[in-house]
């Protein structure tokens, strides 16, 4: 039996003779060729009758690029204004981002480029921005110390305690900017995240005492555009204390805690810990009053930026299929958009939020945040210089 290379050599050898022969001679050549190659008669006739060289040929189809550099640069501008989020979160917000950036003359586009940006897919966004995306990994320390005094009096949160589809139920956590050591005083940031809308409230203070935590929670609650109905925290002593228990009872807030060593019980705020305070402040150690002042000013801008211009997706349902889990998510929306859809805002508060939203620009907020980040970084350099001089 001939192998593939021998069959190709044989067909190449007798092809010219076959094509120059008469009809009767072709029948004899074809019979002999079939006996040697064991080909189907129709396939053998097609091989010998073809003038092309046999063998599979790779087809290189060069398509005209639809999303070229004219699309890439404005897309990158939108992506930077939206804090480098993924394509699935960015795509639904592109029309609104274009409206704001064109309104404030951060972008000037013709109709053709604008149409392409509105029709671009999430996978294409990720592919085009792959080279621009910066990847880095940050690590930190845990500073949670369990509080056992009131643990039995504060219930563990269950599905019956909260209506998670209704805005007002918050998960809370502390983010410590202690660097490599937890000794001494350092800046902490309180992160409160609404489960339904993703609305974020952030407050920075020195240390992690219960009175400062209580004051930060009260400050966030007073500036919320809606009522705080529930508060769920970890088991740290800064949350599990009589001061917080009395405060929640006074303001009719459902006060619950997560199971010990089950951080996923507070999954909404845990993921916001990275995407909000950690992303903008990192894992450095901040321990001076000057740094605290800069951080407070920076977090005010970050809070507005995240709530009004950072779309996120929410899990709608999940189904177990064999050994895999199929998850279905909704369309990415900002906390502000989810809050408007919920319909809980009174008219005055709704008009106030809309007025604030119309006055904001994500690109301007990013620039202000970057300037404050540079200012904060200079405090590190000056401190290092002071240490080297002594």
Q: Report how far apart, in Å, the C-alpha atoms of 5 and of each of 8, 9, 10 are.
A: 5, 6, 9
pLDDT of residue 389: 47
Output the average pLDDT for the chain: 84
Mean pLDDT along residues 112-121? 92
Task: Specify which of 20-24, 27-31, 89-93 reaches the highest per-range mean pLDDT.
Answer: 89-93
pLDDT at 381 over 90: no
Per-residue pLDDT of 237-246, as tens digits, reads 888 888 888 9
Closest CA to 131 of 174, 183, 172, 79: 79
Q: Which residues contact 189 (CB under 8 A, 6 or more apart)?
A: 174, 175, 177, 202, 203, 204, 277, 281, 295, 299
CATH code of the domain occupying 169-389: 3.30.420.10
The CA distance from 161 to 167, in Å, is: 14
pLDDT of residue 136: 36
What residues form DSSP beta bridges with 277? none
The CA distance from 80 to 75, in Å, is: 9
Q: Determine what percent of the chain is predicted with pLDDT higher than 70.
A: 86
pTM of the model: 0.74
Per-residue pLDDT of 253-279, as tens digits, reads 988 888 877 777 778 888 888 889 998
The CA distance from 203 to 216, in Å, is: 6
Mean pLDDT along residues 296-307? 95
Rg (CA), the chain: 32
Tokens 């958009």 identify what position? 337
Tokens 């919920």 identify what position? 342
pLDDT at 200 over 70: yes
pLDDT at 138 over 80: no
pLDDT of residue 334: 94
Tokens 């400062």 identify what position? 212
DSSP 333: B
The CA distance from 372 to 294, in Å, is: 7
Mean pLDDT along residues 227-244? 87
pLDDT of residue 323: 82
Mean pLDDT along residues 135-148? 46
pLDDT of residue 162: 57
Q: Is 237:145 a contact under the CB 8 Å cutoff? A: yes
Q: Which residues contact 283 (CB under 8 A, 6 or more apart)?
A: 138, 139, 140, 177, 179
Per-residue pLDDT of 311-355, as tens digits, reads 998 888 888 888 888 888 899 999 999 999 998 998 999 999 999
The CA distance from 175 to 194, in Å, is: 17
Handedness of CA 235, 236, 237, 239 (dihedral sign): negative
Mean pLDDT along residues 170-186? 88
Q: Which of 5-14, 215-224, 270-279, 347-356 has the lowest mean pLDDT?
A: 5-14
Please calculate the CA angle 301-305-309 and round it to the nearest 5 degrees: 165
First-to-last CA distance in the chain?
88
Closest CA to 300 of 280, 316, 318, 283: 280
CB-count exposure of residue 254 (10 Å: 0-12, 13-18, 19+): middle
- What's the token pair of residue 1? 């039996």
What residues form DSSP beta bridges with 190? 174, 203
């Amino acid at each position: 039996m001939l192998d593939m290379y021998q069959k190709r050599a044989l067909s190449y050898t007798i092809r010219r003779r076959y094509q120059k022969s008469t009809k009767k001679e072709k029948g004899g050549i074809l019979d002999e060729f079939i006996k040697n190659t064991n080909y189907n008669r129709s396939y053998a006739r097609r091989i010998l009758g073809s003038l092309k060289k046999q063998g599979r040929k790779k087809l290189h189809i060069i398509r005209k690029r639809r999303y070229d550099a004219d699309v890439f640069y404005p897309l990158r501008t939108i992506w930077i204004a939206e804090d480098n989020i993924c394509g699935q979160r960015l795509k639904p917000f592109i029309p609104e981002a274009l409206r704001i950036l064109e309104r404030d003359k951060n972008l000037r586009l013709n109709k053709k480029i604008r149409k392409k940006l509105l029709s671009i897919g999430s996978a294409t966004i990720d592919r085009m921005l792959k080279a621009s995306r910066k990847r880095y990994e940050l690590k930190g320390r845990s500073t949670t110390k369990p509080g056992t005094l009131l643990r039995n009096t504060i219930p563990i949160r269950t599905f019956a305690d909260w209506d998670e589809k209704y805005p007002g139920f918050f998960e809370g956590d502390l983010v410590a900017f202690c660097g490599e050591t937890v000794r001494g005083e350092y800046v902490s940031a309180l992160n409160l995240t609404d489960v339904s809308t993703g609305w974020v409230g952030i407050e920075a203070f020195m240390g992690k005492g219960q009175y400062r935590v209580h004051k930060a929670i009260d400050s966030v609650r007073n500036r919320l555009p809606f009522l705080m109905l529930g508060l769920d925290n970890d088991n740290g002593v800064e949350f599990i204390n009589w001061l917080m228990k009395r405060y929640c009872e006074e303001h009719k807030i459902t006060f619950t805690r997560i199971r010990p060593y089950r951080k996923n019980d507070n999954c909404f705020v845990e993921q916001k810990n990275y995407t909000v305070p950690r992303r903008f402040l990192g894992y450095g150690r901040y321990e001076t009053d000057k740094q605290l002042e800069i951080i407070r000013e920076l977090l005010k801008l970050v809070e507005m930026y995240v709530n009004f211009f950072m779309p996120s997706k929410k899990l709608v349902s999940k189904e177990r299929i064999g050994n895999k889990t199929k998850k279905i998510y909704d369309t990415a929306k900002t906390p502000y958009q989810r809050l408007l859809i919920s319909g809980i805002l009174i008219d005055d508060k709704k008009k106030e939020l809309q007025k604030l939203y119309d006055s904001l620009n994500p690109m301007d907020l990013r620039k202000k945040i970057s300037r404050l980040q540079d200012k904060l970084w200079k405090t590190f350099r000056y401190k290092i210089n002071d240490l080297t001089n002594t």
